Amino acid sequence: MLLPGTLAIVATPIGNLGDFTRRAIDSLNDAAVVACEDTRVTAKLLSAYDIHTPMLAYHEHNAARVRPQLIERLKQGQIVALVSDAGTPLVSDPGYKLVEAAIAENITVTAAPGASALLTALVLSGLPSGRFLFAGFLPPKGPARRTEIRSLSAVPATLIFYEAPQRVAKALADLLAVLGPRPAAVARELTKRFEEVRRGPLDVLAGHYEAVDQPKGEIVILVGPPGSGGDAAELTESDIDKALEIALATHSVREAAALVAAETGLSRRVVYARALKLRSTSDGV
């Protein structure tokens, strides 16, 4: 039983209606209002569990206007439940700003945990799970996307991204260009009827999604950490040069060598010597 004036963060099913937890159902029944991304989506979920709590749309386009209304309800002692269309709120949605505002007003915040696409994908990927970084959505444009990938290239953890179906092939191509053929996975439509997890080196996955029709549904891309899967041993001199050329376009020789060494697991001294040679060749020395 929630106390009056509590903001409850409620995880909703990714795919199957049966994924709702008992605590989530109780929180939704206790609430005076359910704040949700899309009332049409949430209405189906509530109906399946015979929950009749009123809904209020709260999403990135109206958050600034609706957030004060929700805070006022909470200050009046009402219970507010926050849900997303699927999975755990606050992951790539504006929910954290509502939590931030609630905490600033000394409002109690609790959570009914449950489904999470990024954790489900990590478990199914077969990639190292002891340390991981969720980086949200990559930028939609190529140059910005590659810059973002480069900034994450040395992170010693499995990288996890959400991606739009129409950008999967291009995102994989850029991940390959910057990171080399690291082990990776693409998870699609998790827990739904057409769930699919495709695993393999980035070059194989990039080639597959370049050749097939655009995938459908929600996509999670996962990439192993530097040196995982024996990728450093399989790199050719051409692979190293390509990675260095990309890094040298925006970094000094020393910085580029450090990035590529971290990406590949190769000796920094060896990579630095190669970077110096490439820079002198490009400068016409």
- Look up the domain containing 249 and give its range: 235-282
Quick check: is 194 in a domain? yes
Quick check: is 50 in a domain? yes
129 in the same domain as 28: no
253 in the same domain as 159: no
Strand stretches in the chain, DSSP E: 6-10, 33-36, 55-57, 80-82, 108-112, 132-137, 158-163, 183-188, 196-201, 219-223
Pick the closest to residue 141 from 170, 180, 178 (CA basis). Answer: 170
Quick check: is 195 in a domain? yes
Domain boundary among 115, 132, 165: 115
Greatest mean pLDDT among 86-95, 134-143, 239-248: 134-143
124 in the same domain as 108: no
| 285 Cβ neighbours under 8 A, 6+ residues apart | none
Max Cα separation, the chain? Answer: 75
pLDDT tens for residues 245-264? 888 888 889 888 888 776 66
Report CA 244 to chain centroid distance, whole Å.
Answer: 27
pLDDT tens for residues 77-122? 999 999 998 888 998 777 899 999 999 999 999 999 888 899 999 9
* DSSP for 219-249, written as a single string: EEEEEPPTTGGGHHHH--HHHHHHHHHHHHT
pLDDT tens for residues 175-233? 999 999 999 999 998 878 788 999 999 999 999 999 999 998 889 999 999 877 654 44
Quick check: is 1 in a domain? no
154: helix, strand or coil: coil
Cα–Cα distances (Å) from 133 to 118, 156, 173, 187, 256, in that order, read 10, 9, 20, 16, 22
222 in the same domain as 247: no
Quick check: is 55 in a domain? yes
243 in the same domain as 168: no
Quote the pTM value. 0.75
110 in the same domain as 122: no
Number of other CB atoms surrounding residue 130 within 10 Å: 7
123 in the same domain as 111: no
CA–CA gap between residue 155 and residue 133 (Å, rounded): 8
- Segment 29-50 mean pLDDT: 95
The total number of structural domains that make up the chain: 3
